[in-house]
Structure 1
């Protein structure tokens, strides 16, 4: 009989191949998708992932990236051609937004695969309705992705307008296979199509949500560490919405997403506050007013959730019935 130190451990023959396969799948993903090591500053906070998670992640990501390549490179005419043109324009705008937010040296830290479906055109250059989807991949060696969806519909009639826009997300860690559990980030709609009053819901667009998304995608929600190693919460949220087809607070090919607050340019107290906050100089007061733009409800919501409200945002007013187009037309 072999001495105790030489005896093979029970189950050792089964464990070794499994461990080797798990390392192989992780190595394959890291190499093929160019994933970065988890930063040392928070590596200990990130739980390990199983062989199954990495394998599912690999095939899921390959499928999504292959679909994107097919939809943007194959000339099939008809609706497929419309999808191709939309994705090309969206992808170009998204890359510009990434460059603007992160700079050239950090562009590889935002990885997203986009898609669009259910396109219905009002005319050649304007969508009546569409569903924009994306998968944003963790830039680190974590089999994590945030699946995103933006549904948009806008149809104008003679005395009414159909309108709704929703933005939602689902966290994918590939621990289980099954249906996607969507959680709404925010939405806007006209419940009364003739009144056309914005009914805005930002209940889930909070700092808690932002922290949860960053913790899932990047491995930590420590603001100082993330600012140092990656980018701030505001840039993160701008890119998240850009990956859903909403850039500069407009939706690709659709445009308007609803209410925007107009700063009270004729209010002396407001203008004095803007001068005191150095938003513009007193000597360039008129030019300062011309440079200020309306504040979208989504701009305010993103900044509030990111903890980055600017001086002017402190004066933001939420919409009331008096702001509704139908109400103004009835006066």
Structure 2
């Protein structure tokens, strides 16, 4: 029995790598590396539970912008905090977790510095986070995995359902039991990739019904591991084919419109050529006119020098010489 269990665990490890590889081709992006403090990491985990990364980022920004500091956030009412999580599932539960964390840290040190968690072991950190009121198991494991970096796989209900669909877990397990049981399947170095792409698939709007709680309650069959990879590729290929089908009728309509517009354009081109012939004749007429103008313009130019000659001759014609008159008087 022990050898059989080892072979099953090894097969599941190889299968998990292949599943992550197919999801990596379909979904873009990579696991995020944040420089958040311990308290900010806890608050971001509250925002991330059972949501996508985009919705968690938006909720986390609203939390930080709505209050001046953590003390004002601690003193605020539950209704004010729930409004910040509007649109996310279990908004009131998130508000209770935020208030419980802030109240615990403030009562402990009268400050909101919780960086002492980095210097503790996994067991010590798990004990300390377990004392926080209303804090879920996902937020505790998410904080430990990001702060202390142990072999921890934080699973919420959505990511747990994906693991059940893969055949790695049973649906009857709790979240803590599921997170502990999947350690033998996903190695420590592969945890960030597994959690990232698992969330991308779980929060995809096209597959939400496929991985809902009601769907797993109806299907209580054992899953064959040899079919899981083919089942995932078929599921992803269906979404791509639906995209192509929706885009093909639009392209056909555009092609018919283009053909209709080309026909009147060809008819208009023929009269346009005739007009060009008319333009050429007009150019010839203008050339003739310009030639006539040049001829007329040359005539006044000839007259001008003639006038100048006359003006020059006039002083020569006067001939006022007194020499001959003087000879006659003698």
Same fold (TM over 0.5): no
Higher relative contact order (CA 8 A, sep 6+): 2
TM-score (norm 1): 0.19
Considering only CA atoms, is the larger Rg found in Structure 1 or Structure 2? 2
Identify, as 1 or 2, the structure richer in strand. Answer: 1
TM-score (norm 2): 0.19
